[in-house]
Chains A and B, each alone.
Chain A
């Protein structure tokens, strides 16, 4: 039984890894396509049909590039930077519930790598370590622009993590658990958390943009001021790791958004499907629905990127400390009051 479980989890982890990679790969294409569409162009369309092979071509190009190493005393840290970035982006996926469960040959497969009861804390811990990727890379590059980018990124991420954590506190107060699996299960049907926590969702969404370093919060790689930001000195696949890690992080963060606020794998009519077509069918549909939600959020990330310019640094800090944090605290108070009132009178 034990070894069967290990094999099952092993396969599951490999599949999740592959899917994350695939999504990250095709996010690069989607980014360029969506940028083009929003600007009335058609985007890359030469590699394969409609540009479908473009990510492969990009990857191949990155592999073929010269591996350049600046004259830095921190060779080890220089390599560690992109590695951390990538690892941390992938680690989060371990606790995300991708679906409910499947019955395969009388054996129940839970569609989650591991269900820990403090999953939420784990997610936050991993996200916070992610900033080290940028910080170490920028520091080890021995380049003032990279260092500036690293400074900016770390102060930005630290400030937005506060608001993010506070917005989640309200959610945890409401659901009474930190396990992502239970939070997902609670949102059955159309009981999505976004309807109960609209303010929390908006705060979380804004902070997600900051955490993934996406426009309008991509000050770390602000080309106009900082050349390439923290990856100025990187080339070849080390650079690829940074870029790739960023897209993987975007995918994971979309998944978190979908799971926490948009009902995870739940969809209206799920119980009907389970009754008429079987529980397996319902859960497979659930996975599909979850991926549709994730894709929507990825699209949303890109949509925002091609709509608004990046913030100025003081605007960024003002928004984080003077707007989002007070709002998040107000949200906690509001949630608490409503919970008490609901307990008393309903």
Chain B
């Protein structure tokens, strides 16, 4: 078997460039066939999802907006080790580390913490590798079903700690349900 007759997928079709006969060259039959195909689609179910009123169902393994966790005492878990930033294939994460001062033990669990922690949501591909890399169980991609809001400035897509850290009320609720 010569190389160009092999068909790995089994779907290869030989192209023929034969001359069209009169009826073919008047195109009517082909056009009628096409019309029949399109008219069928007129009665098909429409696939459009009317977005603001209707929201597409999320897949069960969906990865949502990031959250920086607090522990059961309400302290931030993150120790600014930078593992997440290293793991991130999109280089979306940046942070600045700071030393925990005496008297801040109720705020941060570890001796070092992230004073600035930013994720660029335009870069992020929601792969979840940051979550996998984190040794302190600090960053999670939630199932909150919150979608990154549209905005008209690029800066608005850089989410800082104000948007990422778990809200205190949520932490309080969590520790209450634990006790």
Contact = CB atoms under 8 A, between A and B. Distances in A.
A306 B42 CA distance: 11
Given A318-B25, A319-B26, A42 B37 contact: no
Chain B: number of interface residues, binned into ranges: 10 to 19
A38 B46 contact: no
Contact of B31 (A34, A37, A42, A304): A304
B50 to A, nearest CB: 7
Contacts of A39: 41
Contacts of B45: 40
A274 interface: no
Given A303-B38, A306-B38, A41 B26 contact: no
A37 B39 CA distance: 9
A42 B42 contact: no
Interface in B116-151: none
A46 to B, nearest CB: 9
A307 B25 contact: no
A340 interface: no
B48 A38 contact: no
Contacts, number: 43
Contacts of A304: 31, 35
B44 A323 contact: no
Contact of A45 (B42, B47, B50): B50
Contacts of B50: 42, 45
B61 interface: no
Contacts of A303: 35, 38-39
A308 B28 contact: no
A202 interface: yes
Given A39-B41, A323-B26, A307 B46 contact: no
Contact of A42 (B25, B34, B39, B46): B46
Given A303-B39, A318-B25, A323-B26, A40 B44 contact: yes
A308 B31 contact: yes
Interface string A275-306: 00000000000000000000000000001101
A34 B38 CA distance: 10
B34 A38 contact: no
Nearest to B34: A307
B27 interface: yes
B38 A38 contact: yes
A160 to B, nearest CB: 14
B41 A323 contact: no
B105 to A, nearest CB: 55
Nearest to B32: A307
A308 B34 contact: yes
Contacts of B28: 202
Contacts of B47: 40-41
Contacts of A307: 31, 34-35, 37-38
Contacts of A318: 25
Nearest to A318: B25
Contacts of A40: 41, 44-47
B43 to A, nearest CB: 9
A37 to B, nearest CB: 5
Contacts of A41: 46-48
A42 B39 CA distance: 15
Interface in B42-63: 42, 44-48, 50
For A303, A307, A319, the residue with the greatest tally of chain B CB atoms inside 10 Å of its CB is A307
Nearest to B36: A307
A45 B37 CA distance: 25
Contacts of B35: 303-304, 307
Interface string A6-47: 000000000000000000000000000010011111100100
16 contacts: A37-B46, A38-B38, A38-B41, A40-B47, A202-B28, A303-B35, A303-B39, A304-B35, A306-B38, A307-B35, A308-B31, A319-B26, A323-B22, A323-B25, A323-B26, A327-B26
Interface of B: 22, 25-28, 31, 34-35, 37-39, 41-42, 44-48, 50
Given A42-B46, A202-B28, A307-B31, 10 more contacts: A38-B41, A40-B44, A40-B45, A40-B46, A41-B47, A42-B50, A303-B39, A304-B31, A307-B34, A307-B37
The 9 closest A-B pairs by CB, nearest first: A307-B34, A307-B38, A42-B48, A42-B46, A38-B38, A37-B42, A41-B48, A38-B41, A40-B47
